[in-house]
Amino acid sequence: MNWFNFIFICELYIMLTLSANIVSGYTGLLSFSYAAFYGLGAYATAILMKSAGVSFFPAMLIAMIFNLMLSTVLSYFAIRMKDVFFTIGTIGVQIIVFRFFYNADDLTGGSLGLSEIPTVSIFGYALNGSRDYAILGGVLLALVIGFFAFLQTTPFIRTLSCIRDRELGAITIGKPINYYKFVCNAIAAVVCTIAGALYATNSSYIDPTSFTLDESILVVSMLLIGGTGNLIGPIFGAFFYTALPELIRLIPISSSQGASLRLMLYGLILILVVRYRPNGVFGKFRFE
């Protein structure tokens, strides 16, 4: 087993789950479009690096701009739609974006995907092997965690919790809730872009099946199991869910059955957590 690859995947999911934490955990907007952001980040970075010859960090920044545009759409939904209808709207966005990846052959390569994505080079040093990527991912993850840890000390995050617990109360004390919803979606979009860009350059091949609705459901499950409203919960959830397939690999069954068994366990854990431990393992707030 490749430990560095495992660590790298773990880092990606921790980023995704942290961005889910700020939208769904703090603000209480249950969204299922994280895989859309993740995919858009991956595809935009990959296309810019491959076709336009842009290097990694500028490509990632441009991808962030695309993702911010998509997040504006979602913020508009969050303002116009109420709870479960917002969720259905985000599922719609997720499926439309997935279909775009799948069908726009000229741009994204369709179901065949994009291959031969260039590797990252930093100051002339080209990364190779999963160890280098794990280190790069670790540095970016540390930045992301540092940013969220800083955010925890600000009144901003308390206002988000206020919007989740009582939206009317937030309006009453004069908070511009539309602005807050926009900002929290934007932060999530930016963090998802980092994860997507790393994923695309590490695997050097992407296809639409990595960015399906199931992926979004997986991210939300990670968040629920770890618990919402703090930093340790999402990190634990992402780690737990990435480690589970490695354990299942020890059971002697075929790989497709193993995949089914893994998803079965995910579903079962999700039901059990919602039923018996709605706060998740480390959660500060009950997600409802």
Binding site residues, other proteins, CB under 8 A = 28, 30, 77, 80-81, 83-85, 87-89, 91-93, 95-96, 99-100, 102-103, 213, 217, 220-221, 224, 256-257, 260-261, 263-264, 266-271, 274-275, 278, 287-288
Report in angstroms the alpha-carbon separations of 121 from 56, 168, 202: 7, 49, 12
Considering the complex, state which of residue 52 and residue 264 has its C-beta at the smaller distance from other proteins. Answer: 264
Report in angstroms the alpha-carbon separations of 31 from 58, 66, 94, 163, 259: 28, 18, 10, 16, 25
Considering the complex, state which of residue 54 and residue 224 has its C-beta at the smaller distance from other proteins. Answer: 224
Tell how far CA 63 is from the center of its chain: 15
| Cβ 96 to other proteins shortest distance, Å | 5
- The amino acid sitting at 76 is Y
| Cβ 176 to other proteins shortest distance, Å | 21
Identify any residues that bridge with 114 across adjacent strands, giving them in sequence order. 206
Considering the complex, state which of residue 83 and residue 246 has its C-beta at the smaller distance from other proteins. Answer: 83
| Cβ 120 to other proteins shortest distance, Å | 33
DSSP alpha helix (H) spans, 21-152: 34-51, 56-80, 83-103, 105-108, 129-152
Considering the complex, state which of residue 84 and residue 168 has its C-beta at the smaller distance from other proteins. Answer: 84
| Cβ 76 to other proteins shortest distance, Å | 8
d(CA 178, CA 182): 6
- The amino acid sitting at 165 is D
Considering the complex, state which of residue 140 and residue 218 has its C-beta at the smaller distance from other proteins. Answer: 218
| Cβ 93 to other proteins shortest distance, Å | 7
